Chains A and B, each alone.
Chain A
Amino acid sequence: MTKIPAPLFAEDELPRYARHIALREIGGPGQARLKRARVLVVGAGGLGSPVLMYLAAAGVGRLTIVDDDLVSRSNLQRQVVHAEDRVGLAKVDSARIGLAGLNPYVAVEPVPQRLDAGSAARLVTGHDLVIDACDNLETRHVLNAACTAQGVPLLSGAISQWEGQVTLYDPARGAPCFACLFPVIPAPGLAPDCAEAGVMGALPGILGAIMAAEAIKEIAGAGRGLRGRLHIHDALWGESREIAVRRDAHCPVCGPVHGETG
């Protein structure tokens, strides 16, 4: 007796993706790629909220969420995957509840810990795409090193007050890594965090939606991604800039792994 493979989609699952399937650039094959994708999202805060919500709604099959923080009331002004009645819960558990309400066909794995040098490699392993939505530069460097070592593309977003940056780090495919672009961690006090400096509530929505769109494109193979392009958005003045970036010929992080670019 031949074994029939389990169908990729449940019968009542497909209608929710009808508007994706109608797009020439996604279609049935792209939607199947989304369903098979395994995405790691580091940080379930301001950027992580819209990223997770749009990726879950889009039908990304497996989402791993890493965050060691608890939901606090001051998060709710912008971290829209969480809710008033989940203040005090682990952010990863609150996010899992929020995402289950959007799309029960997504397998969400909550990891209630801080990604650090000891855990980064293990957490990155097995994912097709990693999304950096964390809130500090130390974690960003640790995550970049792990993604670079394993050749996994790293879609990275960061925000400050009214501004945000997003790009796709991918030295295995010719784009710079995070350390090529930002090798130096600023001295303490130069780059204040959201708690100190404040952040406009809709800002992570703008940048997070760009990140979700870039993730969907990358997985589905649609359009042109942000490899080698840093997108900067200034919400206070309503302006965007795009800066061409390239690998650092002598980058100590990606050079030894993916070769110096000379």
Chain B
Amino acid sequence: MMARYDILYFAWLRERIATPREQVESAAVTVADLVAELRARSPRHAAAFADLAAVRVALDQDLVGMDAPLAGGREIAFFPPMTGG
């Protein structure tokens, strides 16, 4: 079933995708499924999602794993560690 999500990007993901947020319609079941769809949206998305080893995900402001189900969720945020001080 298709659902509408608010996707938030932080730090280098935002830098590469060139927007802090977007809305997407998706039938993805898990975070990982959604990432696969986002990766295919544009070369910018592909670059942003090329290396997710250090990136963490929050579903409705709650830290989750890549295998977490999206069911009932509304907002998915992708945020890596920031380095600067």
Contact = CB atoms under 8 A, between A and B. Distances in A.
Interface of A: 43, 45-48, 132-137, 140, 157-161, 163-165, 181-182, 184-187, 190-194, 197, 199, 204, 230, 232, 234, 236-237, 239, 241-246
Given A182-B54, A191-B11, A234-B20, A45 B85 contact: yes
A241 B54 contact: no
A190 B79 CA distance: 12
A245 B58 CA distance: 9
Interface in B26-85: 51, 53-54, 56, 58, 61-63, 77, 79-85
The interface centre, meaning the residue of B79, B84, B85 with most chain A CB atoms within 10 A of its CB, is B85
A241 B77 contact: yes
A206 to B, nearest CB: 13
A221 to B, nearest CB: 27
Contacts of A192: 12
B84 A193 contact: yes
A70 to B, nearest CB: 16
B84 A194 contact: yes
B20 A187 contact: no
A236 B9 CA distance: 13
A165 B85 contact: no
- The 6 A-B residue pairs with the shortest CB-CB distance, nearest first, are A158-B82, A186-B54, A182-B81, A135-B85, A160-B82, A184-B54
A134 B82 CA distance: 11
Interface of B: 8, 10-12, 14-15, 20, 51, 53-54, 56, 58, 61-63, 77, 79-85
Main secondary structure of the interface of A (DSSP, over half): mixed
B84 A244 contact: no
A199 B84 CA distance: 9
Nearest to A234: B20
A181 B83 CA distance: 14
A43 B70 CA distance: 39
A191 B82 contact: yes
7 contacts: A136-B83, A181-B56, A182-B54, A184-B53, A185-B81, A186-B12, A243-B77
Contacts of B51: 186-187, 190
B6 to A, nearest CB: 11
Contact of B20 (A46, A133, A236, A245): A236
B63 A246 contact: yes
Nearest to A208: B85
A137 B63 contact: no
Contact of B10 (A47, A135, A136, A234): A234
Contacts of B20: 234, 236-237, 239
Contacts of B10: 163, 232, 234
Given A163-B82, A197-B84, 18 more contacts: A46-B85, A47-B85, A134-B85, A158-B83, A163-B10, A165-B79, A181-B81, A190-B12, A190-B80, A191-B54, A191-B80, A191-B81, A230-B63, A237-B20, A241-B8, A241-B61, A241-B77, A243-B63
Contacts of A164: 82
A239 B54 CA distance: 23
A152 B5 CA distance: 39
Contacts of A204: 85
